[in-house]
Amino acid sequence: DSGVTQTPKHLITATGQRVTLRCSPRSGDLSVYWYQQSLDQGLQFLIQYYNGEERAKGNILERFSAQQFPDLHSELNLSSLELGDSALYFCASKGPSGAGELFFGEGSRLTVL
Amino acid sequence: GENVEQHPSTLSVQEGDSAVIKCTYSDSASNYFPWYKQELGKGPQLIIDIRSNVGEKKDQRIAVTLNKTAKHFSLHITETQPEDSAVYFCASHTGGFKTIFGAGTRLFVKA
């Protein structure tokens, strides 16, 4: 158990809809990272937050947005969903000191029909 | 932009043999190079890492080497066992606070 909690574990929705994925980082971790993993693909970096502020951005679509709240949990919002958005979405958290280990949650599997 | 290339995409070895996975990074400011193992249905988990001031690190059957000049780093697994079968990802932590992952290597260890 990594200590990172993601909900929901599975989500099935239709094209054009909007969903919110939630992540609770490990206790004490200030950084939250979001990654997208499509079928048999690698981990595509979406966005990183540190203590409530956006720190780095990857190839995140304009239809996607994220935020980190004062209690450090984070939400990834995906809107106007397309079939190609079907993927595993992972959240990871990291301790405060520079480069270091990412602790991943078990992911949220999104299926868009 | 920042990029990490990983080879091979699939690797099949006999139990007891060694496995080597190679990665190349593009951002010369990268300073931290972790390797993650992802088992089916789970999130990736760190197995070993190396920082830019070190050339080699070993932990039991697993070792990682780093060549900063060539921007190459490699994972070596010796005496492979069936439970080593998984997807392995290399990654580099860039100067811009990002951790960029390679495309992954699916390792099969045949008993």
| Contact between B100 and A45 using a beta-carbon 8 Å cutoff | yes
| Contact between A106 and B93 using a beta-carbon 8 Å cutoff | no
CA distance A83 to chain B (A): 21
| Contact between B49 and A33 using a beta-carbon 8 Å cutoff | no
- Predicted confidence band of residue A96 (pLDDT cuts 50, 70, 90): confident
Q: What is the mean pLDDT of chain A?
A: 93
SS3 state at A19:
strand
Over residues B94-103, the pLDDT tens digits come to: 766 788 999 9
Residue A85 backbone phi and psi in degrees, to 5: -85, -10
Q: Where are the beta strands (DSSP E) in chain A?
A: 5-7, 10-13, 19-24, 31-37, 44-50, 53-57, 64-68, 74-78, 87-94, 103-104, 108-112
SS3 state at B82:
helix
Over residues A6-28, the pLDDT tens digits come to: 999 999 999 999 999 999 999 99
Over residues A55-92, the pLDDT tens digits come to: 989 989 999 999 999 999 999 999 999 999 999 999 99
